[in-house]
A and B are shown apart, each in its own frame.
Chain A
Amino acid sequence: QTVVTQEPSFSVSPGGTVTLTCGLSSGSVSTSYYPSWYQQTPGQAPRTLIYSTNARSSGVPDRFSGSILGNKAALTITGAQADDESDYYCVLYMSSGIWVFGGGTKLTVL
């Protein structure tokens, strides 16, 4: 069974830069997995940040960017702000026609 891995938690200082990653238990993430990233605050529905590896969803600030770093998909937040404190989820599309979410990363800004 395919497992998508994310850091359980991360901390960044206000104004700092942080990179969250999204990997596979076996193998490398490539653009063929169409990685996308979602932000979720408690009690709210997820919000789309990045799709197809590095495309920003409408209205998403340009301090959010996506890429492939090594064998993982990555979400980089440049100039972190207090309201970036959220849970972040990546999801990968599998060739079998299913999607698999990572376990999510809880980002703290302090």
Chain B
Amino acid sequence: EVQLVESGGGLVQPGGSLRLSCAASGFTFSSYWMHWVRQAPGKGLVWVSRINSDGSSTNYADSVKGRFTISRDNAKNTLYLQINSLRAEETAVYYCARGVSPAWFDPWGQGTLVTVSS
């Protein structure tokens, strides 16, 4: 069974940092692009970032560029998102999702909640 499990969320102060992880299983992780998508409480989905299969290429939403870094460890079947300089409005559930060619997401993990508050 294809499975994605996020971890690393929690309470962080404004301006703080956090590293999210997404453990993948049930498929050849190193063959797929991966994405992060977030959802603020009661709000819609927002695409955050993607990384290609070998980690050599990344893209970011303008709102997070320069503060977030997506990476992966194919030996550990794990995707990461380093988030820095967090803002209160970035309180959200952060989902990882497998990228399926040409341009869709499936499956999605259950998400990890990041709360930015003092």
* Residues of A bordering B, CB below 8 Å: 1, 34, 36, 38, 40, 45-48, 51-52, 57, 87, 89, 91, 93, 96-104
Q: Nearest Cβ in chain B — how far from A20, in angstroms? A: 14
Supplied contacts A51-B100, A93-B102, 11 more A-B pairs, CB within 8 Å: A34-B102, A34-B104, A36-B105, A45-B108, A46-B95, A48-B104, A48-B105, A51-B104, A52-B103, A91-B105, A96-B59
A36 to B45, CA, bound (A): 13
Most buried by A among B35, B104, B106, B110: B104
A96 to B106, CA, bound (A): 21
Residue total for B at the interface (Cβ-Cβ under 8 A): 23
- Beta-carbon nearest neighbor of A33 in chain B: B103
* Residues of B bordering A, CB below 8 Å: 35, 37, 44-47, 50, 59-62, 95, 100, 102-111
A46 to B111, CA, bound (A): 10
Given known contacts A38-B45, A102-B44, A48 and B50 CB-to-CB distance under 8 angstroms: no
A97 to B57, CA, bound (A): 10
**Across the interface, do A38 and B105 meet the contact criterion of CB distance under 8 Å?**
yes
A52 to B104, CA, bound (A): 8
Q: Nearest Cβ in chain A — how far from B12, in angstroms? A: 22
Task: List 11 A-B residue pairs with CB atoms under 8 Å apart, sorted by A's residue number.
Answer: A34-B104, A36-B103, A45-B95, A45-B109, A46-B95, A51-B106, A87-B44, A97-B59, A98-B50, A99-B50, A101-B44
